[in-house]
Amino acid sequence: MYWSAFIVFLILFILVTVLGFYAGRWHRGDLDLIEEWGLAGRRFGTFVTWFLLGGDLYTAYTFIAVPALVYGAGAFGFFAVPYTIVVFPIMYIIMPRLWRVSKQRDYVTAADFVRGRFDSSLLALAVAITGILATMPYIALQLTGIQAVLAAMGLSGHGIMKDLPLIVAFLILAAYTYTSGLRAPALTAILKDLLIYVTVIVACIAIPMQLGGYGHIFHVAAQALPPKGSVILSPKLFSAFATLALGSAFALLLYPHAVTGTLGAKSGRTIQRNAALLPLYSLALTFIALLGYMAIAAGIHTTDTSLVVPLLFLKTLPTWFAGFAFGAIAIGALVPAAIMAIAAANLFTRNIYREYFAAANGPNREAQVAKIVGLIVIIGALFFIVVIPLQYAIYFQTLGGIWILQTVPAIMFGLYTRWFHRWALFLGWLAGMVVGTGMAAAESFKTSLYPLHLGHSVILGYAGIWAIIVNIVLTFVLTLIFNAMHVSNGRDETAEADYTTEPA
C-alpha cells in the first residue's frame, strides 16, 4: 500500500466531492426545471465551457487507454491526436447552428432537434436510443481509470471489498449529480483539468530526464515494439489510421455528453471561441500518448495495459506526486461520467418518457424523472463494470462509436437541409447500424477496424466509416424514391432564422 499516494489521492477526492455538492448554488437556477438541471440554464461562458468540454471530451479512459494502445501497438495509438485536431473545425461549423436552433426552440437534446426538424418521433427515438446505448458502456469504461489507480496504490481485496472504494466513489458521484445537475461536472472540470495539465507537464519533463531523454525513449521503444507495432506507422495501416481518426472526429461531437456540454454554453459565439481554444488539449494529448513509449523505456511489464500509466508514475515519480496524478485520473473519470449520465437522462426524459408516456406532465416532472434516470444510469454503469467482465464493456464501447456515427445524416445534414426524407433517414440509420454491427461482429468485437474487399484489393478501415457510407447512399437513393412517390415528409417546425440568428 502506497500510503503517501493514497493520502494525496483522498484529499483531492474529498475536494472534488465538496465542489460537486456546492455546485448546486453556483450560477443559481431552478433545478426543478430540466433546462436548469440538465443544461445549467445555457449560461456558461467561454472560460467555464472550455473546462467543461475539455473535461467532457478528454476522459480518464483517454488518459489510460491512449498510452496503453501506444505501449502495445506503437504509432497507431497516435490516431487520437489527429482525430482530436480534426474535431474542432467541425465543432466550429456545426455546433453553433445546433445551439442556436436549440435555444430558439427550447431543445434539450439532439433528438429534440430531429423531432422538430423532420416531424418524426420514430427518427427521434432512433437517435435517442443510439445515444443511450453508446453512452452506457462509455460511463462504465471511465471506471477502469479509477480501478487502475486504486489497484496501483495497493487498494485491493477480494469479493465486495475489492470493489468497495469504486462503489463509494460512484455513489458520491450519483448523489452530487442528482442534487447539482450539469453545474457539478462544470465546476469540478476546472479542478480536473488543472490537475491533468500539471500532471502532464511534470511527467513529460521529469520522466524523460530519468530515462535519458526522448531520443533514448524512442530508441528503446523502436527496438521493443516489433513485432506488435512500430514507432513509424506502417503503410498497411494508413487507411485504418485515417478512417478511424476521421470517423471518430464526427462521432465524438454527436455523443450525448458532447451535445449536452455544448448546449450548456451561453451563445453560439462561445462555442466558436472554444473550438479555437480547445486544440490546446490536443497538444496535451500528444504528450499523454508519449507516456506509452516512456513506459516501454522504463521497463514496465504488465499484461493489464490499463496499469501501464499508473505503474510508470509509481516507478519514476515521487510517490506523493503519483497520488496527485492518480487523483487527476480519478477526477478525470468522475467529470465525464456525470455529464454522460445527465445526457442519457435528458435523452430518456425528453424523447422517450415525454414522447410516449407523459407528454402533459410539465417541465418540473421532466426534471424529476431526469434526476432519477441519471441515478439509474450511474448505478447501472457501476453494476456493469462490477458484475460483467470488463471485456464486454470494451466490446460495447467499440460498437458505440460505430453506432453514434450513424446519426450524422439526421443531425448534421439536418442542420443545413431538409431535403432528405424522414423515412429515408430512418432506414439509412437502420442499415448503417446493421452493417456496422455486423462488421464488428465479424471481427469478434475485438476491433472496430474491418478489411473491406473490393475486387482484388483489401482496404483496412474503420467499420463506422464503411457503415456511414452505406447509410448515406441508401438515404440519398430512398429520398429520391419517396419524393417521387410523394410520400409525406411531415412539417418542419424550425425556421431558417433559427439557425443563423444569435438569440438575445
Question: 471-493 pLDDT, tens per residue?
Answer: 999 999 999 999 999 999 999 99
More confident residue, 95 or 385: 95
For residues 405 and 308, give the distance between their C-alpha atoms in angstroms, rounded to a whole number. 30
Alpha-carbon gap, residue 121 to 130, rounded angstroms? 14
Mean pLDDT for 458-481 is: 95
Query: In the structure, what pLDDT confidence band is assigned to residue 157 with cuts at 50, 70 and 90?
Result: low
Peptide bond preceding 310: is omega within 30 degrees of 0, i.e. cis?
no
Q: How far apart are CA 237 and CA 259, in angstroms?
A: 31
Query: So what's the pLDDT on residue 150?
Result: 83
Our CA angle for 244, 246, 251, nearest 5°, is 90
Crossing angle of helices 183-211 and 319-348, in 10° steps, is 150
* Residues 191-240 pLDDT 10s: 888 998 899 999 999 999 999 999 999 999 998 887 777 888 888 899 99
pTM over 0.85: yes
Res 331 pLDDT > 90: no
pLDDT value, residue 159: 59
In percent, how much of the chain has pLDDT > 70? Answer: 95
β-strand partners of 230: 74
Do residues 53 and 280 touch, judged by C-beta distance below 8 A? no
